[in-house]
Structure 1
Amino acid sequence: MTDRGSLRSTLHQRGMRMTPQRQLVLDAVRELEHATPEQVCKRVQGTAATVNITTVYRALDLLEELGLVRHTHLGHGAPTYSVEEHEHVHLVCHRCDDIDEVPTELLGDLADRLDAARGFALDATHLALSGVCRKCREANPHVEERR
């Protein structure tokens, strides 16, 4: 469900109106790939200067409820939004704040172990892992990280 007609149809089925603001917010998330509400707002205001952050938050909440976007917490601060089909695990360096991405399949063994041991179904598409990136580890190899 990625085009304007699908969004319009989904909203109409739920008794809601398609608004230009909702479409602009969805378009901004798609274009930015990962974006905080503030970044989405800035992008939307490039087209529609009167759209405020409250409207963006409401649109993001609705789009998430409709399954068109998802949010992930990549550290402290505002959540980051991406489109539903944009699936990967985020690796967040807590030293330099760099963010990398890896395929969700890398967590397959962990997901299987959690399911077997706890009956827990891991959603790796909605996940950020915190640690130290290679660059930071190479710059300071004597600092041990928690395991």
Structure 2
Amino acid sequence: MQTRNTVQRQIVLQTVLRMHDHPTADNVYEAVAAEHPSISKATVYRNLNQLAHQGEIRRVPVPNGADRFDFNTEEHFHVRCTGCGDVYDVKLPHMQDLISQVEDSCGVEVQRYDILFEGVCPACRNRSSEADGRPAV
């Protein structure tokens, strides 16, 4: 089914392309509404889903949290800080060996994947160290 390329969809896309911090749908809506107050939250959410489905942006599923959206559609990994909840790109080369091993182990042709690591970012580690009276790392 062909979808129309609406003005609202372009506004949502351009907003995500400007946001390099893996925003939630609410973050995107707030940014869009600041410039275009007549656009509803439902319109932003619907367009985010459509853009992700079309592959123009990437949805980053976050267990027990709000999904994030990424302007970078290349296959890559993410890490989420368990302290502040921020999501970052992991700078690792594409791991074709891993994909091949998954395909070989179960016979499934992998078309896309989402790997999300969890840990504590440097800022949260520093805050934790300062609260405990330890020197910052």
Name the structure 1 match of 2:18. 31
In structure 2, the gaps of 5 or more residues are: 130-137
Would the alpha carbon gap of residues 65 and 123 (structure 1) be closer, same or farther in structure 2, given more than 3 Å must change?
closer
In the other structure, the counterpart of 1:3 is none
SS of the residue corresponding to residue 74 of structure 1 reads coil
- Equivalent position of 1:59 in the other structure: 47
Q: Is the 8 A contact 1:37 1:57 kept in 2?
A: yes
Question: How many residues align structurally?
Answer: 125
TM-fit CA distance, 1:39 = 0.8
Q: CA RMSD in A?
A: 3.0
Structure 1 unpaired stretches of 5+:
1-12, 140-147
- TM-score, length of structure 2 as denominator length: 0.70
Q: Which residue of 2 aligns with 1:40?
A: 28
- Mapped to 1, the partners of 2:25 and 2:84 lie a distance apart of 22
Matches within 5 A, 1:96-135: 96-105=84-93, 107-120=95-108, 121=110, 123-124=112-113, 126-132=114-120
Whether the aligned pair in 2 keeps the contact of 1:35 and 1:80 (CA below 8 Å) is yes
| Letter in structure 2 aligned against 1:114 | V
Shift of 1:79: 0.8
Secondary structure at 2:15 match in 1: helix
Higher helix share: 1
| Cα drift, residue 109 of structure 1 | 4.0
